[in-house]
Structures are given as C-alpha cells and as structure tokens.
Amino acid sequence: MADNLKITQAQDENTNEFGREHNEKLQGLARSLVAGLYMLVRSVKMYDPENAVFQKPLHQLQDIINQIISKEGRLELTGVKESFYLNGMLVKVDLNSIENQRYLLTELRSKDVGGFTLTKPVTVPELKNFIWIFSKEQTTASEEDGLSNRKLLNMRVAKFSKLKEKLNKDLDNPGDQKVDRKKYAMTIYARAVFFLTKYLESVRAGKPINASKALRLVQDFVDISYEQRTHFLGMTTMRREDDYLVYHQVNVCLMSVVFGAELGLTKPQLRDLGYIALFHDAGMATLSEELSTKRGALTPEEKQTVQRAPLISVRNILMEKGFSRSTLLRVVTTFEHKTDFGTAVRDSRGNIQMIIPKTNLGVYAKIIAICDAYDALTSKRPYR
C-alpha cells in the first residue's frame, strides 16, 4: 500500500509538467505578441511606418509570430470583450499591462479589426502593411486582406463588426451554440485525422515531424469533452479499414480524454493523457504493408515484429529535441501500456476469477491500455 502511494505521488509530480511547460511557453509568447503589437500601434500614431524606428520591433514581432506558428501550426489572435485569445487560449496579462491591452483593443476596434489569423510564417514587409492600417494618415477601414494599396499576403484580418455580430447572435440563440459545438467537434476530429495521417507518413519515411503541433488539437478535445463528454464518443465509430491505424489512435485519444475526465483528472492532466494516447501506436506505422494488412491470425514471428512496435514509438519520442521529466513520462507510458499487466487465475471451468498483478502500471498507461483494447475489439481491422 505504501509503495502504491509513493508511486501515485511520484506520478502526480510528473503528470502536469509537460502540459504546463507547453502552456507557459505559449503564454509567454502570447504576452510578447500583445506587447509588441501595442508598442507598434502606439508608435504608428507618432511616426511613419517607414521610419527606421520600426525596424527592430517589427523583426522582434516577426520572430514571436513565427515561433507560435512553428509550435502551433497556426496563429489566431482575437480580441473578445476586454481580453485577447490566442488559438482559443486566454492571454493572461499582469496588472501593469492591463491598460496597454485596453488601449490596443480600442485602437484595433476603431479600425474594425477584431484580430488576425496566420497559417504560414510572416514577413516584415507584411507586418508593416498591417501596421499601416492604424497609422494617423489612414482614414478608411481595412478589408480582410488589408488596405487597398497595401495588401496582406498570408495574414487575414478578422473584422470586429462580424465578430460582434456573431457574439450577439450566440447570446440570442443558445441552441445554435450546441449545434456549432458539435460541428466544431467534428472539425477537430477531422483535423486530428489529417495531422496523424501526415505524422505516420513521416514516421514511415524515418523523419517524424514535430509531434508537439498536435497539442492544440488535444487541448481542443479536452475543452469540448470536459463539459460535454458525449460529443466525441459517437465519432469513434467513424473509421475506414484501410486507415485503421490513424482512426484507431485518434479514437483512443478521445476515449482516454473522456475516461480520464470521468475519473476526475484535471484539464492539464487530460491534455497530457490525450497527447500520449494520440501517438501510442505510432510505431506500428513502420510495419510492412504485407504484415499490417494481413488477414487472420499472425505467426509467432509476426507477433514478435508487432510487439517491437512500442519501442519504435519510444524511439520517435527520444528523437525529439530536448529531454525533460515530461518526456520521460511519455516514454514510460507509451511503453507501459503494452506491458503484460498480470496473470489470470481461472477456475475449473476456465473462467477468470481474479488477476494477479505482475507490475504497478501508471494511471495513464492503465487508461490507454483499456481504451486501446476496447477500440481494437470493436473495430474491423486486418488482424484480430
């Protein structure tokens, strides 16, 4: 009992670290983004955007934006009421910066700008064209692609008037919000399938892409399922046999998040759990097509090949840059969930009476193992 308690306490120390570390880095970048925009918008009221005084802050803002896109795969900054949201995450500012944030929101809205989106790296000339919208000489509002004489290439401006109209409509029609939430859930599911398809292709090529880009998708899973846990469960029946591995991993991720929420895990814990679950079987992508599509039972040699797949998943994690306690948690959980948990004790009729544990698995590994087995048993797949 004491040993189990120690293990649980040690796990709790590790559980939140990965999600917290990523979230803190993103919060820091978000605050720098808002601060950089504030300084540029304030300065453009006094100086021409072509002035040399803008060169350094524009390059700094470019670096911040491109870091966010590199980590998240996209950047969506939106001003809602008195706050900014970056990719759906509330940007937390300190008390000394609140007035600066209010000033920036006021200036943006005076030009009918509610925010902007980017999916590709931004350049300094494009940022300069964006800042021109708020210059003292500019009297007309910007379109979604910028000013008529200073078009934006990759940036897209979100019109504040449209955002306000949508917010008012949502307040007047709460029933529509439920429909929108379900549509958004389907969109997230589709994005996860698309991302994982690309990720597994990179694994097969021997050059896994940065898995951390999926963190935003997992966070969206957590945010929606935390209060409405049934939204995603019906989607786990959406699968194609020829893409079994992709749908299987997304489904296990969803079920693990819902399972964990039922157990009372916190949002950061659910994000870590879902992130690990999303890639739990990535090593299976390295199996030959002949083996991965084989019908019927596997030979002992083929079973050994399949059983080595978790080691490939672990290797992919270790190939990522940096190593921390959160990385260790991912490695241990990814390997543990395939561990033979215990020995079955059967009666004279062959019925299982009890399980004698062979080892102490972590809570994440237990959840993923259960969801992994359930989805495998209820799916039509090449071998069973």
84: nearest Cα among 62, 63, 114? 114
Mean pLDDT: which of 35-39, 89-93, 232-236, 323-327 is highest?
35-39
* Mean pLDDT (whole number) for 309-327: 75
Instruction: Identify the three-state secondary structure at position 319.
Output: coil
Is the confidence at residue 1, as pLDDT, over 50?
Answer: no
| pLDDT level of residue 299 (50, 70, 90 thresholds) | confident
pLDDT on residue 233 = 63
Give yes or no for a contact between 172 and 150, defined as CB atoms under 8 angstroms apart: no
The DSSP-derived string for 184-231 is HHHHHHHHHHHHHHHHHHHHHTT----GGGGHHHHHHHHHHHHH-THH
For the chain, give the percent of residues with pLDDT over 70.
Answer: 83
Mean pLDDT: which of 28-42, 235-249, 293-307, 347-361 is highest?
28-42
* Mean pLDDT (whole number) for 91-115: 89
Tokens of 376: 């495998």
| pLDDT level of residue 18 (50, 70, 90 thresholds) | low
CA distance linking residue 203 with residue 170, whole number of Å: 42
The DSSP-derived string for 36-99 is HHHHHHHHTTTS-TTSGGGHHHHHHHHHHHHHHHHHHS-EEEEEETTEEEETTEEPP--GGGHH
For the chain, give the percent of residues with pLDDT over 90.
Answer: 21
| pLDDT level of residue 280 (50, 70, 90 thresholds) | confident
Instruction: Identify the three-state secondary structure at position 153.
Output: coil
Give, to the nearest 10 degrees, the angle between helix 325-336 and helix 309-318.
170
Is the confidence at residue 364, as pLDDT, over 80?
Answer: yes
Query: Where along the chain do its domains lie?
Result: 2-169, 174-377
- CATH superfamily of the 174-377 domain: Hypothetical protein af1432 (1.10.3210.10)
Q: What is the pLDDT of residues 126-177, one digit of tens each?
A: 999 999 999 988 888 788 888 888 899 999 998 888 877 766 655 455 444 4
| pLDDT level of residue 288 (50, 70, 90 thresholds) | confident
Q: Please give the distance of CA 299 from its chain centroid, rounded to a whole number.
A: 38
Give the DSSP letter of residue 298. Answer: P
DSSP-assigned beta bridge partners for residue 357? 342
* Better pLDDT: 204 or 117: 117
CA distance linking residue 151 with residue 145, whole number of Å: 6
27: nearest Cα among 80, 71, 79, 82? 71
Give the DSSP letter of residue 142. Answer: P
Instruction: Determine whether 138 is exposed, middle or buried from the number of CB atoms within 10 Å of its CB (0-12, 13-18, 19+).
Output: middle
Name every residue whose Cβ is closer than 8 Å to that of residue 202 and which is 6 or more positions away in sequence: 208, 209
Give the predicted TM-score (pTM) of the model.
0.55
* Better pLDDT: 218 or 173: 218
Burial 152-164 (b: 16+ CB within 10 A, else e): beebebbbbeebe
Is the confidence at residue 3, as pLDDT, over 50?
Answer: no
Give yes or no for a contact between 112 and 134, defined as CB atoms under 8 angstroms apart: no
CA distance linking residue 86 with residue 217, whole number of Å: 14
pLDDT on residue 65 = 95
